Amino acid sequence: MRSPHRTPPGCARAVDPLVRDSSLVWLASGIVGVSFGAVSVAGGLPVWAPVLMSLLVYAGSAQFSAVGVLLAGGGPAAAVATGLLLNTRTAAFSLAVAEILGAGRASRFLGAHLVTDETVAFALAQSGRARQRRAFWISGIGLFAAWNTGVLAGALAGGALGDTARYGLDAAFPAVLAALVLPALRADAAVRRCALLGAALALAVTPAVPAGVPVLLALAGLLLHRRPGAAA
């Protein structure tokens, strides 16, 4: 006899695929956020400092670097300069998604705050402008919420948790990004050439420059890209 409480057909597929695909990045973001909050407070910063920074700056690796400068005795100017340098790459990312965000000033202002490696890659991996826009906002809002929730939890816990990055969970970010760009690499030889040059440059300079700078230098791979119809 069938149960009267049987799950309706299709209910298991009710979760939006974009939400499902973003969830791993949200989880990783929350865990790394816990690490950031805990490390900041354990190093001597007040609880409000990492929480406020995450809400207003929201820059991931740049936040870690800026706090590292402060905890090492550097001044606010040095911390800000470090964060700005590491986040320079988002200027190029913003150009890539400018049309996706919409024409309104409010959407562009809020969208610019949510531009990250993950949200841009996730949006551009979709087909069709409408789906790209939904992907950007779904992944961006979820990522922002997960990161800030994690930072708050870590800051309140203080040094009791230690550095959660030692478990390797932060590897979820590059793994997901690689999965997002693979379809584009398979479909377009020009994109593959750009990606290979960018990856080679990033790997070559990684031992000699601060974290985040290799990603910025990898943009030089775009020099190999040619617009459709350009002369060979």
Q: pLDDT for 19-69, tens place per residue? A: 888 888 888 888 888 888 888 888 788 899 899 999 988 887 778 778 877
Q: CA–CA separation, 39 vs 204, rounded Å?
A: 30
Phi and psi angles of residue 231, each rounded to the nearest 5 degrees, phi first: -65, 140
Whether the CB-CB separation of 196 and 220 falls below 8 Å is answered with no
pLDDT in tens, 182-231: 766 777 777 788 888 888 888 888 888 765 567 667 777 777 665 544 44
Q: CA–CA separation, 217 vs 105, rounded Å?
A: 30
**Ramachandran category for residue 158: left, alpha or beta (phi over 0 → left; psi -120 to 50 → alpha):** left
- State pTM to two decimals: 0.66
